[in-house]
Amino acid sequence: MDMSQPQGITDNLDSEPQETAEWIASLQSVLETAGPARARFLLSKLSTAAREAGLQWRDARNTPYINTIRASDEPAYPGGSDALALEEKLAGIMRWNALAMVVRANRAYGELGGHIASYASAADLFEVGFHHFFHARSAEHAGDLIYFQAHSAPGIYARAFLEGRLSSHDLTYYRQELSAKKQQAQGLSSYPHPWLMPDFWQFPTGSMGLGPISAIYQARFHRYLEHRQLLTTQSRTVWGVFGDGEMDEPESLAALSMAAREKLDNLVFVINCNLQRLDGPVRGNGHIVDELETLFDGAGWNVIKLLWGSDWDPLFARDQNGELVEALNTTVDGQLQTFAANDGAFNREHFFGQTPAMQAIGATLTDEEIDRLKRGGHDLRKIYAAYHAAANHKGKPTVILAQTKKGFGMGTAGQGKMTTHQQKKLERQDLLDFRDRFQLPLTDEQAENLAFYKPDADSPEMRHLMQKRAALGGFIPQRIDPQLHLAVPALEQYAQFAIDADGKEMSTTMALVRMMGSMLKDATFGKHVVPIVADEARTFGMANLFRQVGIYSAQGQLYEPEDIGSILYYREAKDGQILEEGITEAGAIASWTAAATSYSVNSLPMLPFYIYYSMFGFQRVGDLIWAAADQRARGFLIGATSGRTTLGGEGLQHQDGSSHLMSAAIPNCISYDPAYAYELAVIIQDGMQRMLQKHEDVFYYITVTNENEAQPSMPAHATNGILRGMHCVQQHEKADVRLLASGPMLKEAIAAAKLLKEVFNLHAAVWSVTSYSQLARDGIACERARRMQVSDELPWITQELQASNTPVIAVSDYVRAIPESVRAFVPSRMVTLGTDGFGRSDTRANLRDYFEVDAKWIAYTAMAEIHANKKSAEDMQAIAKKCGVDLQQTLAMHG
């Protein structure tokens, strides 16, 4: 027999049932007499023997389509059947109020939208957490962190209503934040949002996929704080309740192996496998649960399948020859959905009717009982058992794959229906059925009118609800901003070298790293700094920090690094401070967000600097940056090797000409593109003060470059202009032209001014524009203030340029749209130069020539404006030549 052949289909058929039974009996006997450890040992020995014999056998990653936790291993339910009954009742009330909220809003305004079916399927999963597991922040407990599935928000509002945190008046303003304000109500945001409901929501999970990766890095950041002895986080668990469809998102799965590698047993995912997403089944032709089991198990997670309710246990007990389990193994999700959408009689015929043995099992139940057979995620007892196991599992993160029915309880109106996701209107009869299904004490009229229902405060269910939350420390979710004071170091302490640079050559990246290195040395402040990189620390000259503060590694360093003899050796340490995330910008930004919101989540302000290739920031992980903005992050994003022409040689995928366009759209992101080290210092100092001392919910995006240049010392009185967006670096009373330039373009503008003087004896004044986007925002704000009759103040750029009406040339190493954004506030003719188009691989000089942004092109553009319509084409060509530009050749080459 050729034992090297992989297993074939015929191997699945049992040719020797007697022999099989003997093997199984032996295993059971070992289990009973010697215990599970011995049984596991023998199985692994058998597996080794099989491998050595060349069998090419490996255990399937999938377990059968049944619950992982056996009924006999379930812990007692806290409070017993009384508590169970009350909690079931409460879950019904939550479901009703959530439904009523959505349907009412849409009856009034059909455009508002909202979701019923998702929370209807997730309610029990949420409720067991709320009653028994989710700790609020209190004197005794720092609080668990829960990432709630965003579109199940109505369920969270419904709970807050019973808890007395929201009134019925508030509930009528679901998805109507603006109208609510006018009516002294708390508007309820569609999805969790820390700006719109700042005392309530902690994590903005509305964009699918961001919740899972954020939860993982949040749990990891807790470990980091713990290992650095900054915070005790051991009792805290990060929970994430997500949809099975959401697992399609690459970000959802992106960090699974990291979570396992870091042994994040402070992390639990609950995936609500209602088998449906928006359009239809998640895996109609397969099992999403099995697929996720394989993925999570393969990544190293503890996987708990929670598929069937307690009423299935007697059915499995009767399943002598395994036909029921085999039917579940082979019934694909699309079919399971159809079973969910149909009644008991249908299920008897089409599911239990498959074999005589199954028919016999089905015959023990009435149609009504078959209809009510619960999936695991709707059985509080089973859910409790799974959560209990997850919360107590050591050494691995846990995922609970909970099978539910989408639109549970919505009957023929929605349960398991293909279109249920978007259902937000219910007919009268559907409402009455729903009321009856969950035994709500509402009259027909109340049900029809979608009355919110809250039992009396001294009713058993309300007392139970309040007692349970009191025992877990209070209500959740809850967001705080404790406004803790953190003294930031004085500018001179870490950036004197930049203020008094005196012509010293350095790049702005070098300056930044040096500033950060000094800050890290500060005895009290330094420990709050979190340097983050995604495998580019050496690119940015940060290797010196490896030795200085170490790279965080939960395991420390288990090897002797190759470069141990070097003073900059690669030092990993359990209390290391640098987060070296590897090549995952998504992971790095998730870490940054965890650090940047630590002031709220942990009442421990941290100051993260995430330094990355600017091209791989807003473009690559822009949605995660928006989520950080939503979460009111405070920290620095440093776009290094920035600029379309300043990163020579790298070609179009690495050269960034657009990040400032994207960052400008985020309202609480303050962007700067400084030219000089001293500007960088002033900006960082102001940023630290605003974020850490004034508790402003802003974060900074600063681009730095790797171009070495002579750094001037800071002129007097420059601070205000630097921060507002522009300051004059070369003044001239009678300037013929004004040059505005940001970042690396400033030196080109200065060189252009020199050229204009030397060749044409014309004078140019030059401004360093540290931020076109801040100038534009200021301009828009001033314009509105004037319109609203509150202020006459002119925009800063207008103030700077109003002294004359000579032409303005505004240059950027980014697309023209960036300097264009200030045009409305420039009181004279203006031309913008920028780097629109695809990048190229070449030298900086050639790139700047190609994009027509270098000194000679700036000078020629200035001449063209000075002489606008006054010179012949020949004269202009001659002027261009004097500037060093050949117009005809350029047109011939580039069009």
Ligand X SMILES: Cc1ncc(C[n+]2csc(CCOP(=O)(O)OP(=O)(O)O)c2C)c(N)n1
Binder of ligand X out of 244, 433, 581, 707 (CB under 6 A): 244
Which region, judged by CB under 6 A, interacts with ligand X, from 87-95, 193-201, 239-247, 455-463?
Answer: 239-247
Residue 627 gets the label, from left (phi > 0), alpha (psi -120 to 50) or beta, of alpha
In three-state secondary structure terms, 701 is: strand
Q: Taken in order 619, 622, 624, 625, is the CA torsion positive or negative?
A: positive
> Is residue 591 close enough to count as binding ligand X by CB under 6 A?
no
Q: Which is nearer to ligand X, 202 or 276 (CB)?
A: 276
Nearest residue to 430 via CA among 117, 66, 692: 117
- Shorter beta-carbon distance to ligand X: residue 245 or 344: 245
Among 214, 274, 338, 742, binds ligand X (CB under 6 A): 274
791-807 in b/e form (b: 16+ CB < 10 A) is eeebbbbbbbbeebebb
Distance from CA of residue 192 to its chain's centroid? 13
- Here the tokens at position 114 are 């909202």
- Number of CB atoms found within 10 A of residue 529's CB: 23
Q: How far is CA 229 from the centre of its chain?
A: 26
Q: Distance between CA 175 and CA 192 in Å, rounded?
A: 11
Least distance to ligand X, CB of residue 154, Å: 12
Q: Tell me the window of 154-162, 268-276, 349-357, 762-770 that interacts with ligand X (CB under 6 A).
A: 268-276
Closer residue to ligand X in complex, CB, 69/210: 210
Measured CA to CA in angstroms, residue 408 lies from 356, 417, 533 at distances of 30, 10, 45
276, 415, 597, 711: which one contacts ligand X (CB under 6 A)? 276
Write down the least CB distance from residue 94 to ligand X, Å.
16
- CA-based nearest residue to 423, from 783, 157, 106, 889: 106
Cβ count near 49 (within 10 Å):
10
Q: Which residue is nearest to ligand X (CB)?
A: 243
Q: What is the dihedral of CA 218, 224, 226, 230, to 10 degrees?
A: -100
What's the min distance (Å) between Cβ of 251 and ligand X? 9
Closer by beta carbon to ligand X, 282 or else 551: 282
> Which residue lies nearer to ligand X by CB, 396 or 406?
406
For ligand X, give the closer residue by CB, 84 or 278.
Answer: 278
**The one segment of 269-277, 367-375, 450-458, 475-483 that binds ligand X by CB under 6 A:** 269-277
Name which of residues 109 to 138 contact ligand X (CB under 6 A). Answer: 118, 121
Query: 277 CB contacts (<8 Å, ≥6 apart)?
Result: 243, 244, 245, 248, 421
Return the residues of window 416-455 that contact ligand X according to CB under 6 A: 421
Closest CB 276 distance from ligand X, rounded Å: 5
Q: Choose one: 25-33, 69-77, 243-251, 429-437; the region binding ligand X (CB under 6 A).
A: 243-251
Query: Least CB distance from residue 404 to ligand X, whole Å?
Result: 8
Tell me: does residue 283 bind ligand X (CB under 6 A): no
For residue 403, the cross-strand partners are 273
Q: For residue 697, give the H/E element and its range.
A: none
Residues 74, 87, 124, 246: which binds ligand X (CB under 6 A)? 246
Instruction: Please report whether residue 243 would count as binding ligand X according to CB under 6 A.
Output: yes
* Alpha-carbon span 235 to 396, nearest angstrom: 15
Structure tokens at 549: 């503060």
- Measured distance CA(478)–CA(788) in Å, rounded: 36
The mark string for 768-797 relative to ligand X (x by CB under 6 A, - otherwise) is: ------------------------------
Residue 215 CA to residue 268 CA, distance in Å, equals: 9
**Does 277 sit near ligand X (CB under 6 A)?**
yes
400-430 core/surface letters (b: 16 or more CB in 10 A; e: else): bbbbbbbbbbbbebbbbbeebbebbebeeeb
Q: Which is nearer to ligand X, 135 or 406 (CB)?
A: 406
Stretch that binds ligand X, among 55-63, 273-281, 801-809, 860-868 (CB under 6 A): 273-281
Stretch that binds ligand X, among 240-248, 692-700, 728-736, 849-857 (CB under 6 A): 240-248
| 826: its two tokens | 């420039």
Cα–Cα distances in angstroms (integers) from residue 809 to residues 352, 609, 676, 772, in the given order? 79, 33, 20, 13
Q: Least CB distance from residue 65 to ligand X, whole Å?
A: 19
How do 607-613 and 669-672 pair as beta strands? Answer: unpaired
Residue 275 vs 740, nearer CB to ligand X: 275
Of 15-23, 44-52, 274-282, 567-575: span binding ligand X (CB under 6 A): 274-282
Closer of 209 and 526 to ligand X (Cβ): 209
> Minimum Å distance from CB 582 to ligand X?
24
The one-character DSSP state at 692 is: I
Minimum CB separation of residue 748 from ligand X in Å reads 40
| Residue 175 binds to ligand X (criterion: CB under 6 A) | no
Residue 277 C-beta: closest distance to ligand X, Å: 4
In the complex, the smallest distance separating the C-beta of residue 420 from ligand X, rounded to whole angstroms, is 9
**Helix (H) / strand (E) containing 592:** helix 585-596
Which among 13-21, 242-250, 379-387, 693-701 is the span making contact with ligand X, rule CB under 6 A?
242-250
In whole angstroms, the minimum distance from the beta carbon of 652 to ligand X comes to 27
517 binds ligand X (CB under 6 A): no
In the region spanning residues 395 to 414, those forming contacts with ligand X, defined by CB under 6 A, are 406
Q: Under rule CB under 6 A, how many of the chain's residues touch ligand X?
A: 19
Residue 271 vs 745, nearer CB to ligand X: 271
DSSP, collapsed to helix, strand or coil, labels residue 659 as helix
Residue from 71, 278, 698, 751 that binds ligand X (CB under 6 A)? 278
Nearer to ligand X among residue 127 and residue 244 (C-beta): 244
Which helix (H) or strand (E) segment holds residue 544: the answer is: helix 543-549
Least separation in angstroms between residue 134's CB and ligand X is 19
**What is the three-class DSSP state of 614?**
helix
- For residue 291, what are the contacts with CB-CB under 8 A and spacing of at least 6? 283
Q: Distance between CA 850 and CA 843 in Å, rounded?
A: 10
Q: Please, what is the minimum distance in Å from the beta carbon of residue 300 to ligand X? A: 23
Q: Considering beta carbons, is residue 208 or 370 the nearer one to ligand X?
A: 208
Residue number, 455 or 622, with CB nearest to ligand X: 622
Among the residues of 734-872, which ranges form H helices? Answer: 745-760, 772-787, 796-801, 817-820, 844-850, 855-866
How far is 300 from 112, CA to CA, in rounded Å?
42
Structure tokens at 636: 């620095």
State the nearest-atom distance from the C-beta of 401 to ligand X, in Å: 13
- Residue from 151, 388, 405, 777 that binds ligand X (CB under 6 A)? 151
Residues 204-233, interacting with ligand X (CB under 6 A): 206-209
> Does 245 sit near ligand X (CB under 6 A)?
yes
Q: How far is the CB of 421 from ligand X (least distance, A)?
A: 6
Residue 332 beta carbon to ligand X: minimum distance, rounded to whole angstroms: 16
Nearer to ligand X, 94 or 282 (CB): 282
Give residues 532-551 in contact with ligand X (rule: CB under 6 A): none
Burial 866-886 (b: 16+ CB within 10 A, else e): beeeeeeeeebeebbeebebe
Q: Which residues bind ligand X (CB under 6 A)?
A: 118, 121, 151, 206-209, 243-246, 272, 274, 276-278, 282, 406, 421
